[in-house]
Amino acid sequence: MPISQKQQLSLQQKLSPQQIQMIKLLELPTVQLEQRIKQEIEDNIVLEEDDRREDEEQPQQISVDEYLREDETPSYKSRINNYSKDDKQRTVYITGGRSLQESLIEQLGYRNLSDRDMKLASYIVGSIDDDGYLRRDLASICDDIAFSLGIECDQSELERLLDIIHELEPAGVGARNLRECLLLQIDQLPMNSRPRRLARKILNLYFDEFVKKHYEKLIARLQVSEDDFREAIEEIKHLSPKPGNMYSEGGTDTTPYVIPDFILDYHDGKFDLSLNSYNVPEVRINHRYMDMIRDMVKADGSVKSEDREAVQFVKSKIDSAKWFISAIKQRHDTLMRTMREILDYQKEYFKDGDKSKLRPMILKDIADRTGLDVSTISRVVNSKYVQTSFGIILLKSLFSEAMQTDSGEEVSSYEIKNILQQCIDNEDKRHPLTDETLMDILNSKGYRIARRTVAKYREMLNIPVARLRKQI
């Protein structure tokens, strides 16, 4: 083929490194922002934490001539304030305790096991997940032990050691399925009452019927009264389906700790919105590096050849630090700008937290009001929380699609979910409402909704199907 040259004109959209940095910072919640700033302080030698709090602005233009001309760089050019005047920086202490596996291995130490048995039992314990279940089959564990520890063993040997693990605390740990887990727990209880003995019989002989809630069939087979059967079911409900979650020694907590990104107060008919900056380090540029550059520059403005590389290195670090500080400032402005528009849009809801007052709202509604892109709004509301007088709210949960009534009025899907929740809360538990019945109830109230939409909203509310809601 002949070689030829040609010009081609095309449009391409590219993001600068600073834009990419801004996007990544915008996605971070408060806790991760704190970690990101501390990481940047470690990576960039010219950045440092600053305890002083002044309300100055960050300069936009960055050049090395600016550093060399000025005798002293004003603080407003090298730092950004993320705090309000009333904020006080507080430290969050995180305590860590022993894990479930560490506790089990410690208990095995009191069993007088041989070295071989201890190694095998410890390996089994390491295969137990956070819920307390052993979800791998013993044959696979045998292969892993032979490969990693070089110990030949069979399933019967592991079965014997697993029986020992089943005797450890918490009760039910090491079970391979839910039935075995519940039986292990109830076997450690004294069989000194009729409901407890009946509960064990149900789990041992009629577990499938119990899971499917075929209560009438179970009552007939067991030949017991409804009261006795109800007491037995209550005994089963006291057992834990996830014994690993019950382990809380040493300060371990299975409930995540949420730190809100915004704080919203409502007093005397007025809203007070602020960005939560607790524990977020305030950063500035270390002036020693400014002085270092000045010392390396001659009176005529030239730089020695041996110092040129050092000057360029420090300059690049200072530029990077200023871009980072500017990105944090821009993140602050974007978050506050978006949250103010959300507050203005859902003002009636934020007064008392009544979800029935939530207006239908999608990302484009806030994007149009702020002038920002929809993707930017999505990054702002993702994993961000606002603290209100009625609790901590996930911003993403405030967005809902619109549903149209027979009268043509648009209502939020939260209103539909609220009606569904009320209907299910007030239903006869002996004869729970099916999705078809719930659809008819909503249609009779003027809401146009299909059965599959009812099922979708029911699943979003974590409500099981009618068969699984049945009670005696």
Low-confidence ranges of the chain (pLDDT < 50): 53-62, 64, 67-96, 248-255
The domain segmentation of the chain, as residue ranges, is 20-92+259-399, 94-170, 172-239, 402-469
Question: So what's the pLDDT on residue 404?
Answer: 67
With CA atoms as reference, report the closest residue to 36 among 326, 388, 403, 328.
328
Distance of CA 363 to the CA centre of its chain: 21
Question: So what's the pLDDT on residue 301?
Answer: 61
Question: So what's the pLDDT on residue 68?
Answer: 46
Q: Is the bond leading into 170 cis (omega within 30 degrees of zero)?
A: yes
Q: What is the CATH number of domain 402-469?
A: 1.10.10.60
Question: So what's the pLDDT on residue 140?
Answer: 92
Compute the distance between CA of residue 169 and CA of residue 321 in angstroms, rounded to an integer: 52
Question: So what's the pLDDT on residue 122?
Answer: 92
Question: So what's the pLDDT on residue 457?
Answer: 84
Question: So what's the pLDDT on residue 118?
Answer: 92
CA distances from 158 to 243, 267, 459 (A): 21, 64, 40
Strand partners, 394: 385
